[in-house]
Amino acid sequence: MDPVKKYYEANLDGLEHFGFGDHHQRIIDMLSKEKKGKLLDVGCGNGFLANELKKIGYDTYGIDLSSQQVKRAKKRGVKAKQGSADEKFRHKDNFFDCVVVSEVIEHLFEPENCLRECYRVLKKGGILIVGIPNTSSLQARLAMFFLGESQFVTYPYVTHPHIRMFSKGSLIKLLKKHNFKPQKTRGANWFMFQYTRKNAQIIKNNKPVEYNWNSWLKILFWIKYNIFGHFPILSQTIIVKSVKN
């Protein structure tokens, strides 16, 4: 079995209870004012993000390696299919108005295959959203300086099987190489502040538990989301919105 597929099949329960992330909210905000249409979520997992995008008007489709996650996504009303992000998608040319590839291409040996397929299935002028862990984030820089290692660049990965590393600059170059025009770049997930106030969760005994928010935490998260997000070069996650040329 493919090692990445094996990892996701073995960690289904933990992935099912993963909280509503800062990067999820950022993607929703980027797409909320766009013209709604057919949207493909590559690496859709249990369909959580695709379902949120469906709520704001998108007709959502999905691809995921895990057959179990595909079943969960379908229960959420996502038109999901099992498949690999770096192989030919089972969809027609120029079919989608938007493609989302969040926290995926760092797991691929050949991320360029994925971008070629995204380009093929997107309509001209269609939107591509790509989110990646940032190798040059402030957290990674401090970890390398003080500890001599970072979760983004240290092998082997026990819980994060990343095999390709990206920074803001390298991602934008890759997008341009594949005929996408970057329009907007935002940052998300600063240090441990990875959840939004909308639906933050902590995990206890493998079950989601609502977090008790104090007023000062609300202020901190507002600053983090609305100010720090404009400095993606140092954020833990980088999200780029592009259009197909």
CATH at 162: 3.40.50.150
- pLDDT tens figures, 60-87: 999 999 898 999 999 999 999 999 998 9
pTM exceeds 0.95 for this model: no
Structural domain harbouring 91: 3-244
Residue 92 identity (one-letter amino acid) = K
C-alpha triplet 46, 33, 189: angle, nearest 5°: 50
- 242: phi then psi, degrees, rounded to nearest 5: -130, 165
Candidates 233, 241, 200, 240; CA nearest to 22 is 200
Number of H-type helices and E-type strands within the chain: 9, 9
Strands 237-244 and 180-188: antiparallel
Are 47 and 78 spatial neighbours (Cβ–Cβ below 8 Å)?
yes
Spans of the chain, pLDDT less than 50:
14-19, 192-209, 211
Distance CA 83, CA 65 (A): 5
Are 161 and 4 spatial neighbours (Cβ–Cβ below 8 Å)?
yes
* Cβ neighbour number for residue 170 with a 10 Å cutoff: 14
Q: How many domains does the chain have?
A: 1
Q: Locate 185 and state its tokens.
A: 């770049």
Distance CA 12, CA 27 (A): 23
Are 40 and 121 spatial neighbours (Cβ–Cβ below 8 Å)?
yes
Q: What is the dihedral of CA 182, 93, 63, 225, to 10 degrees?
A: 20
Helices 168-177 & 111-121 angle (0-180, nearest 10): 50
Place of tokens 């309509």: 123
Give the chain's radius of gyration (CA, Å).
17
For residue 237, give the 3-state DSSP assignment: strand
